[in-house]
């Protein structure tokens, strides 16, 4: 049965989507059948694996709001062992529509139960907010992966995220754990990076991954070509870092 990991941080611009896409591709490349679920209305995970969102017959919106089977919305990508449940523009209005549904916190969980057996890993790319859509992801997930940018305001807003995690654990999903904390846009030459790293390690003892994601131009270029970094430039530092993260996560599972 697939392990479900939500990738979330309500602070935008921290490498959340970059991590969801490239970790999913890394897991697929390692022979693990992987589903990437894009529940961010911006839909950058979907386009990051080559999906043309204008041509979709069904999306995560239809699954959450219309009750469409996830099997009818999942697309195979051209990348090894990687499927995607894409986002669509309609998702922007889904917060309001979800709020009117019965068991509104567990709609995504009920949908993923239908396909969980077919995958080794399911990664959920969450929106940069803490509304009903993110609550659905946390209710469905076994673990939460938190990307944090190594910058001055890195820890800002984390207390709100952790409050949400505690609330979801208490009310909807007692099994939710912090899978790990990933340092992104890392530049070891800067004193600030070292200081922020120490702070984050104090805040999340024993949860910070050894792998760090460097700040590289190639990582920011890959999405515009609709490719994960491993397929865009597999020899660059960013590709190596996400392959290292993949190995670290697989080692933890074994």
What pLDDT band is residue 10 in, cutting at 50, 70 and 90?
confident
Q: For 186-229, how does the pLDDT look when each residue is reduced to its tens digit (9 = 90+)?
A: 988 888 888 989 989 999 999 999 999 999 999 999 999 999 99
CB-based contacts of 167, cutoff 8 Å, min separation 6: none
**Domains of the chain by start residue, with CATH:** 3-253 (3.40.50.300)
Q: What is the mean pLDDT of the segment spanning 17-26?
A: 98
| Predicted local confidence at residue 129, as pLDDT | 84
Rounded to 5 degrees, what angle do the CA atoms 204, 210, 213 make? Answer: 100
pLDDT for position 155: 80
Looking at the predicted structure, is the pLDDT value of residue 98 above 80?
yes
Task: Please give the model's pTM, rounded to 2 decimal places.
Answer: 0.95
Quote the pLDDT of residue 219: 94
Mean pLDDT over the full length of the chain: 93
d(CA 174, CA 170) in angstroms, rounded, equals: 6
The torsion region of residue 81 among left (phi > 0), alpha (psi -120 to 50) and beta comes to: left
Q: What is the pLDDT of residues 133-191, one digit of tens each?
A: 999 999 999 999 999 998 878 787 788 889 989 999 999 999 999 999 999 999 888 88
Residue 96 has pLDDT above 90, yes or no: no
pLDDT at 54: 87
Q: Between 237-253 and 16-29, two packed helices, what is the crossing angle to 10 degrees?
A: 70
Q: Which residue has the higher pLDDT, 102 or 226?
A: 226
């Amino acid at each position: 049965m697939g392990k479900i990991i939500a990738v979330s941080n309500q602070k935008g611009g921290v490498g959340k989507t970059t991590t969801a896409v490239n970790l999913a591709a890394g897991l697929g490349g390692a022979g693990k059948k992987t589903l990437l679920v894009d529940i961010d209305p911006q839909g950058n995970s979907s386009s990051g694996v080559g999906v043309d969102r204008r041509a979709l017959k069904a999306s995560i919106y239809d699954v959450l709001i219309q009750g469409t089977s996830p099997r009818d919305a999942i697309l195979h990508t051209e990348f090894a062992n990687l499927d995607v449940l894409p986002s669509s523009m309609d998702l922007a209005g889904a917060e309001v529509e979800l709020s009117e549904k019965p068991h509104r916190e567990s709609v995504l969980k009920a949908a993923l139960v239908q396909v969980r057996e077919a995958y080794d890993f399911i990664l959920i790319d969450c929106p940069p907010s803490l509304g009903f859509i993110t609550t659905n992801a946390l209710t469905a997930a076994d673990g939460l992966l938190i990307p944090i940018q190594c910058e001055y305001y890195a820890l800002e807003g984390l207390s709100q995220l952790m409050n949400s995690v505690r609330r979801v654990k208490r009310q909807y999903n007692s099994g939710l754990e912090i899978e790990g904390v990933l340092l992104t846009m890392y530049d070891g030459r800067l004193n600030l990076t070292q200081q922020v790293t120490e702070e984050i390690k104090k805040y999340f003892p024993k949860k910070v991954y050894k792998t760090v994601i460097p700040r590289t131009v190639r990582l920011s270029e890959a999405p515009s070509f609709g490719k994960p970094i491993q397929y865009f430039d597999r020899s660059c530092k960013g590709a190596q870092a996400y392959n290292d993260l993949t190995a670290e996560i697989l080692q933890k599972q074994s």
